[in-house]
Chains A and B, each alone.
Chain A
Amino acid sequence: MSLAKRIIPCLDVDNGRVVKGVQFVNIRDAGNPVEVAKRYDEQGADEITFLDITATAHDRNTTVQMVEEVASQVFIPLTVGGGIRTVEDIRTMLNAGADKVAINSAAIFNPAFVQEACDTFGSQCIVVAIDAKKVSTEGEPNRWEIFTHGGRKETGIDAIEWAQKMESLGAGEILLTSMDRDGTKSGFDLKLTRAISDAINIPVIASGGVGELDHLCQGITEGHAEAVLAASIFHFGQHTVQEAKEAMQAKGIEVRL
């Protein structure tokens, strides 16, 4: 008897539709967010994350409406990320029915915002999203840095130190994406995931690179993550969440079935 490791399908949303790109290009349409969220709920998803990838004012309203609609039909935790920059943005999403928000670039431009958000709403609803890329070359000790703008812009910030700083500011959880692996289907960056998970006490959600069920298991057993996030293996019918959980259980991982 203990806490189950979580599987979190991720829906990238663009103007009210679920999309999925390979390293943020070649975006493919993957359906109506409410329908997709309901399908994952029925398959036993432990949570659902929405990432709003375009954030014009008009699209934001579409996202808020979508969150409202999903929250009245799906009774598992919902996280919304993308363009969360102010306390008011967070309040809007929580009022629409989100349980958590993911803060990404706003944390980098203004770390005090993370603390303000946690003080206002509680750590339980503040997820800090970290996009990390390996910067060390072969033969050097591993080192990862934070990148912004979908992995195109470097910040020079060390990923492990950043995760520790976010924990100290009150973040309740870290959503860790390897920008080297995102969209490649070659598996998580397990060394990165493990380095961060072992360095902090709050839960880490591993993200970026899942192409088969075994990758999800590795994120837990080798990456020491508390939760694993994936998109395309679920969106296009390659696997159900149920199959993913059965695969994890077969590896001795505790799951909610």
Chain B
Amino acid sequence: MNQKLVAVVDYGMGNLRSVAKAAEHVAPTNTRIIVTHNPEEIESADAIIFPGQGAAKACMNALFETGMIHPIQKSAQEKPFLGICMGLQVLMSHSTENEGVACLDIIKGDVKQFELNAHPSLKVPHMGWNQIQQTQEHPLWHNIPQNSRFYFVHSYYVQPKEQSIIAGTTTHGITFPTVLSHKNLFAIQAHPEKSADHGLQLFQNFLQWNG
């Protein structure tokens, strides 16, 4: 059986180790997980995990400096691609973070900050375990019950132009999209690498998915 190569994109941001460790924990024996910032390895990988933490601007700068913008845009069109947290947000066209940042424009739409003035008791960042309502069927939801809790940490959320790509929503004062899915691409605002059994199941589903 051929070996499947899964690349975790390393652009110097965020805790890649926990993403790689969680994926390794559930990876089938023919699957090899690598953490890389080499554009050629990204292009040759069979599937991509695109994690991220921190600020949008720093993230885009790091992607630019490591020469990874083009390989990411290309991969997102053609092979199983899992975006996580900031790795969801920078797929969008534009973020209002850091006084406005142009993002990868792989998914049309914006990234906006929580404005919860109407809910003074709610805290930002949205930090902790919240439910994801699955709004479409998807192979990555296999064995993950409806309204399962995942671990979130973020102050911004995505607003895609096309409502049909929303695969999951979450409520924190407002109800907002937390999972987007389009063809070979699946991107989630929560951190599956920190979401115990449901998160591990999501990685397992992704590693078995052919996009």
Contact = CB atoms under 8 A, between A and B. Distances in A.
A71 B155 CA distance: 25
A76 B124 CA distance: 20
A101 to B, nearest CB: 11
A121 interface: yes
Contact of A4 (B121, B129, B199): B129
Interface in A105-154: 121-125
B182 to A, nearest CB: 25
Contacts of A202: 123-125
Nearest to B197: A75
B158 to A, nearest CB: 17
A4 B149 contact: yes
Interface stretch (B14-22, B39-47, B69-77): B14-22
A76 B125 contact: no
A100 to B, nearest CB: 9
B195 A1 contact: no
Contacts of A83: none
Contacts of B131: 1-2
A75 B128 contact: no
B61 interface: no
Nearest to B26: A75
B67 interface: no
A5 B128 CA distance: 8
B147 interface: yes
Interface residues of A, number: 33
B133 interface: yes
A75 B129 contact: no
Query: Which of A123, A224, A226 has the largest number of chain B CB atoms within 10 A?
Result: A123
Given A125-B53, A202-B125, A97 B21 contact: yes
Contact of A3 (B15, B130, B193): B130
A76 B18 contact: no
B54 interface: yes
B113 interface: no
Contact of A41 (B17, B25, B53, B196): B196
B17 A6 contact: no
A173 interface: yes
A75 B155 CA distance: 22
A6 B129 CA distance: 8
A241 interface: no
Contact of A201 (B124, B133, B147, B191): B124
Interface of B: 14-15, 17-18, 21-22, 25, 53-55, 121-131, 133, 147, 149, 151-155, 171-172, 191, 193-196, 199-200
23 contacts: A1-B131, A2-B172, A3-B126, A3-B172, A71-B18, A75-B194, A75-B195, A75-B199, A76-B195, A77-B191, A94-B15, A95-B17, A97-B15, A121-B54, A123-B155, A124-B53, A124-B125, A124-B127, A124-B154, A172-B127, A202-B125, A203-B125, A224-B121
Interface of A: 1-6, 41, 46, 71-72, 75-77, 94-99, 121-125, 172-173, 201-203, 224, 226-227, 256
Given A3-B127, A123-B155, 18 more contacts: A2-B131, A3-B126, A3-B128, A3-B152, A4-B128, A4-B129, A6-B128, A75-B196, A97-B17, A99-B194, A122-B14, A122-B55, A124-B154, A125-B53, A172-B125, A202-B123, A203-B125, A203-B128
